[in-house]
Each structure stands twice: as structure tokens, then as C-alpha cells.
Amino acid sequence: MKDQPVLDVRGLWKVFGPKPERAVGSTLSRQELKERTGCVAAVRDVSFTVRPGEVFVVMGLSGSGKSTLVRCLTRLVEPTAGEILFDGADIRQADERRLRELRRHRLAMVFQHFGLLPHRCVLDNVAYGLEIRGSARPERYKRAREVLELVGLTGFENSYPDQLSGGMQQRVGLARALAVDPDLLLFDEPFSALDPLIRREMQNEIIRLHHEVGKTMVFITHDLSEALKLGDRILIMRDGALVQMGTPDEVVGAPADDYVRDFVSDVPRSHVLTLRWIMREALPDEPLDGPELAPDLVIREAVHTVLSADRPVRVVREGELLGVVTSAEILEMIAR
């Protein structure tokens, strides 16, 4: 498909407790492991790749290990085992200096509780990452102003964090991460502390920014609708282990197990699934001169065409007929 992945994580483990190496590779359940060794495996044998320009979402309930996972990626939490290849080089092998360089130039993170410096104004907060890597004041202020404009905070340069609303504070956190122009942006549940309206606004903001700056993003969330909305691909975690990885419609349309099925049961499937998921082979006697639609079209958007057509709608990709959809399939899907 696309070129080399930005991030290639292989067999990552993070075990908390005494002599954590012992627990690596164990197949015991979390409970048994805790009883036998006193260790807690927060991340167990997780592998995935993130492609350039992709929004990769890691989703799980609290305690599933997703926040630990994202911290392992920049070694804010030291992984116990595994490889984290970032542009082909293993982050785990980096020494202190190299790690610092990576953090200063290539990776940036946005936190759930913002982590702003309360004693600095917005401009100085955004410029902080540039300041500690040693760029001169005029230069870093110029860059900070650019980024503030990007996130829509122009005019608030001299405000202090506690004068801003939660949503605006998180924009500052976002601007701080963007200011260093990283190759990879990590988000640790950035909108969980915000109220629902602001959260939606910020999600749209992320979508907009992703279009404008095209950064590769790893996004942690416990909110399925957020995951479906933002993610190009979703990794679902449970008790530290990977349960399923796939595109939003794969997760909703073909849950890997009961856990995921339960999870996605409330999702309005017609909003996520595409025609590919409901089309069927054309029957021999069916007329094949109905309207044409693409297989990646979300069902919701096809409803009008299909229901108003008096014959089966053809699902076609590059001139090839993949199948047909009639009002029966649509209604069955919506009624489910």
C-alpha cells in the first residue's frame, strides 16, 4: 500500500511490579499473574503499525493499558519488552540524549489534563518546547504565534492558563505540541476532561488540523464514537492486550469477539458501515440498469438513492460490478 510505516511496534510489553521481566510472555490472566508474581501487565504483547498521515486510534476502557501504551511510545513509561521502530530505528535502544532529541523534534504529546505551566502566559506555554531545545526568543515567539493562529487562539497570547476555559486550555496544549513541528503527534485522551459540546468542537478541530497539516497521529480514547469519528484505523485493547485492529467499519461490521460486539452494539451501524457490508450478488433475473454507487459509501448516505430507485442499485468499483443493494437490505440494516 503506502510506503514504510512511521511507527512499527512489535511485541510490546509493560509490566509493573517486582522483577517485571518474569511476566513477559506469560499467558496467565491478569488476576492470576497478579497472584502468582505480584506483577501487573499493563501492556501485553501489542503489535501494530502506523502509516504516514494516518490517524491511528487506540481505544479501551479505563485500566485497559492504553495510556501506558502511548507513554511507552515516547518512553515516559519505560517498556519492559518489545521493539518500537520509529522511522526504522528502535526508540528503546536510544540513549538519553537521542531520546531527548526525538522528543524535542520528532514526537509531541497532548495530555488529558493539559499539563500547562500555570505561571506562564499562553505564548510562553506554546513556546516552551522550542525554548528548551534552545531556539532564540524572536524565532520561537514567531512560531508560537503561527501555531496559535492555527488553533484559533490569536488574541490570547498574554492570557494565563487559569483564565481560559477547558477547551481553550487544550487548544494551548495542542498548539504546544504542534509548535515543535513533530512527525508524530500523540494524544492521551485529550478531550475526556471536556464537556460534550466542547469535545465535539475539538474533535472537528482535530479533523480540520489533520487536513491542514497532515500529521500522523496516535490518538488514545475511551470513547467509541470519538474513535469511529477520528480514526482511520482503530486498535481495541482489553486488559492490556490487543483485541481487534481494523478500520471503523471493520470493527463495527465484524467484531472480533463478544467484548467488541458488546462495545459496538449501540453504534448506529448505518452511520459507520458502507455498502460493501450489505451488498449481495445480483439474482439472475434482476434488472441491472439501476443507479450506480461506490462500495465505500456509508449506508446512511445511500439511503435516499436506494429507496427512491425502482430497481436494485448497482455497487460498482472502477467499472466492475461488485453486487447490488435494494431497499430490503437497507431496511434490514436500519431495523437491526
- Selected binder of another protein within 1, 2, 3, 119 (CB under 8 A): 119
- Selected binder of another protein within 9, 23, 81, 180 (CB under 8 A): 180
**Residue 102 contacts another protein per CB under 8 A:** yes
**DSSP helix/strand/coil, 166:** helix
Local structure of residue 198 (DSSP, 8 states): H
Of 138-177, which residues contact another protein (CB under 8 A)?
158-160, 162-163, 173, 176
CB of 129 to another protein, least distance (A): 4
Nine-digit cell string for 127: 513556546
Minimum CB distance to another protein smaller for 124 or for 232: 124
Longest dimension (CA), the chain: 75
In angstroms, the CA 240 to CA 315 distance is 40
**Residue 113 contacts another protein per CB under 8 A:** yes
**Residue 200 contacts another protein per CB under 8 A:** no
* 224-227: long-range pairs with CB below 8 Å, 24+: 224/59, 224/263, 224/264, 224/267, 225/267, 226/57, 226/191, 226/199, 227/57, 227/59
Strands 292-293 and 313-317 turn out to be parallel
Of 274-333, which residues contact another protein (CB under 8 A)?
none
Ramachandran class of 25: left when φ > 0, alpha when ψ lies in -120 to 50, beta otherwise:
left
CB of 119 to another protein, least distance (A): 5
Minimum CB distance to another protein smaller for 77 or for 316: 77
Of 52-81, which residues contact another protein (CB under 8 A)?
74, 76
Positions touching another protein (CB under 8 A) are: 74, 76, 99-105, 107-109, 111-121, 128-129, 131-133, 158-160, 162-163, 173, 176, 180
